[in-house]
Structure 1
């Protein structure tokens, strides 16, 4: 169950995900078209049929991903408390990731060109075993969250070593 205090992503995250999926869609559509032109639209060739089938499956997956953007947005939340940061994703296929603050080794903010246009950033949280990401949050919130995580991780380590 996602706690009521969990933070949602900004609404512009949906636009970013749509742009990303549209870029992937256009790239695979272009790849399929170029291969068909190169092979002279020989529809009876097993190679052309295989390439078209593969591109078709990938395009259907991208379209499905585009359709599910509102679902992803509604159930993608994060929450920072005194001991850990939690990231929640999904409703039917729930995924809950909790990162203890004393295990955090590195916190980065990442901003590609599409995120830069919308003034959003990804926050990347690295532990010894895994890397976690909170996608598409406002720049000021991302910097605040990064600073809070670094400070909280430092304090959690100091408490652990005081024993």
Structure 2
């Protein structure tokens, strides 16, 4: 059986910063709506609804931080990193830590033109 590790405590800080980023995004949306209200006289209830949704979303994001920290774990295996999350709806994600050596970068227009020129000769 594999050994699962608890996420580092710094993840709580990352999730808090993410909530702050969400709050800033909601404030930008509110500022845009305020400009629309000022210029085109949009109703204020639109701003009130967006403000309510933004406050609820940021509060939920902050409140679930302890839950996320408690029920997110990881395991580093030889060929993959596994992340397990959730309690009620548990989910495990596997991410390969092996390099993908079969990936080829192609520039479509250049290769297409080369193919066309090759057929003409």
TM interval, shorter chain, is 0.5 to 0.7
Q: Match of 1:72?
A: 68
Q: Match of 2:33?
A: 35
CA distance in 2, matches of 1:43, 1:68: 37
User: Are the equivalent residues in 1 in contact too, given 2:7–2:72 (CA < 8 A)?
Assistant: yes
TM-score, L = length of structure 2: 0.63
Match of 1:49 among 35, 45, 52: 45
Gaps of 5+ in 2: 102-121
Q: Please show how residues 82-161 of structure 1 align to structure 2 within 5 Å.
A: 82=78, 84-98=80-94, 104=96, 149-150=97-98
Q: Match of 1:15?
A: 13
Aligned residues: 100
Greater share of strand residues, 1 or 2?
Answer: 1
Q: Match of 2:3?
A: 5
Pair member with larger Rg:
2
Gaps of 5+ in 1: 105-148, 155-163
The answer to which of 86-95 and 74-83 deviates more is 74-83
SS of the residue 1:150 aligns to:
coil
RMSD (CA atoms): 3.2
